[in-house]
Amino acid sequence: MAKILSISSQVVCGSVGNSVTQFTLQRLGHEVWGLPSVLLSNHPGHKIYGGARLGSKILRPVLEALEFAGHLKQVDMVMTGYLPSKEHVFIALDALKLVRKLNPNVIYLYDPALGDDCRPGSPEGLYIDVKAAECQRAELLPLADIVTPNRFELEWLTMRPVMDPQTALVAIDQFGNDRVLATSIPGISGRLLNLLAGDHQPLAASVKQFDCAPQGTGDLIAALYAASILNGDAQERALGLATKGVETVLRASEGMDELNLIGSQEDWSMVEPAKVSQIEYIPA
């Protein structure tokens, strides 16, 4: 069992941010300490929502108490997701540096929750402040061991067009991180690809494109991949399990406006990996 410090959003009702990350990783055998960047009633994509951002006055004393009590030295992985302001980026950065000082072997998974191509009722693009996104690119991205962008985020972070697997791999090559799991990359016949590349032969898993999928799939695939890596799985199996797990949840969530994460847990927690293939990377 690993211990994960996860800094992201928290909703009272629904399945996004830490509400996805915590349950998914706990269901797969790991302990998660969720530090909320925001606390909302539900996802702000809905017409009615309420809540607020949690800033330094609340979050820093929490981190200081965790350090003083000796908890942070137990952390095996730090995950960051929704960080809507520069203040939140620097809180996450300080937390990561503190944990790495106590445990140099900690893994950092950076899930850049910056934006998307298609959000029902909203324009495509960034859904956080551009200065916060730029700060993440400058401060967090270079420190990450694992990065999990969707197609839009990969394109935005690298400032390179991502239109197919090869352009995605060219963009991934710019990161220099150990592992990049890029999702929703256009494939063939209307399907999408999840690509895993970095310090090994690029791997791809094909997925069905769901119409108007609920929010939270990025949080879900990051959590599923993290759980698999922490369980000691090889890269190919980790990609296959994460891909199949998300597909299983999405099939169980068709017609719903939230991920049916808890209702489908017996299925996604026991899946067989999706088919994974090696792909050739032709540098630009």
CA distance linking residue 275 with residue 143, whole number of Å: 30
pLDDT number for residue 68: 94
Question: Per the domain annotation, does 75 fall within a domain?
Answer: yes
Q: Which helix (H) or strand (E) holds 165?
A: helix 165-175
Tokens 């929750």 correspond to what residue?
Answer: 113
pLDDT of 214 strictly over 90: no
Question: Per the domain annotation, does 283 fall within a domain?
Answer: no
Structural domain containing residue 49: 3-278
pLDDT-based confidence at residue 150 (cuts at 50, 70, 90)? very high
Question: Per the domain annotation, does 284 fall within a domain?
Answer: no
Cα-Cα end-to-end distance for the chain: 41
Question: Per the domain annotation, does 162 fall within a domain?
Answer: yes
What DSSP character marks residue 122?
Answer: B
Instruction: Give me 61's structure tokens.
Output: 């004393």
Q: Is 219 a catalytic residue?
A: yes
Question: Residue 24's domain is classified under what CATH number?
Answer: 3.40.1190.20
Instruction: Give me 225's structure tokens.
Output: 């991949």
* Catalytically annotated residue among 94, 173, 211, 219: 219
Question: Per the domain annotation, does 220 fall within a domain?
Answer: yes
pLDDT-based confidence at residue 118 (cuts at 50, 70, 90)? low
Question: Per the domain annotation, does 114 fall within a domain?
Answer: yes
Residues 227-269: tens digit of each pLDDT = 999 999 999 999 999 999 999 999 999 988 899 999 999 999 9
pLDDT number for residue 122: 46
State the alpha helices, DSSP H only, in 44-164.
56-68, 86-102, 130-135, 151-158
Domain count, the chain: 1
Instruction: Give me 184's structure tokens.
Output: 């929703």
Sheet strands (E) in the chain = 3-11, 31-40, 51-53, 77-80, 107-110, 115-116, 125-126, 146-147, 179-186, 192-198, 203-207, 277-278
pLDDT number for residue 120: 46
Q: Are 54 and 36 in contact (CB under 8 A)?
A: yes
Question: Per the domain annotation, does 89 fall within a domain?
Answer: yes
Question: Per the domain annotation, does 251 fall within a domain?
Answer: yes
* This model's pTM is above 0.75: yes
Q: What mean pLDDT is reported for the chain?
A: 92
Residues 25-77: tens digit of each pLDDT = 999 999 999 999 999 888 777 788 888 999 999 999 999 999 999 999 999 99
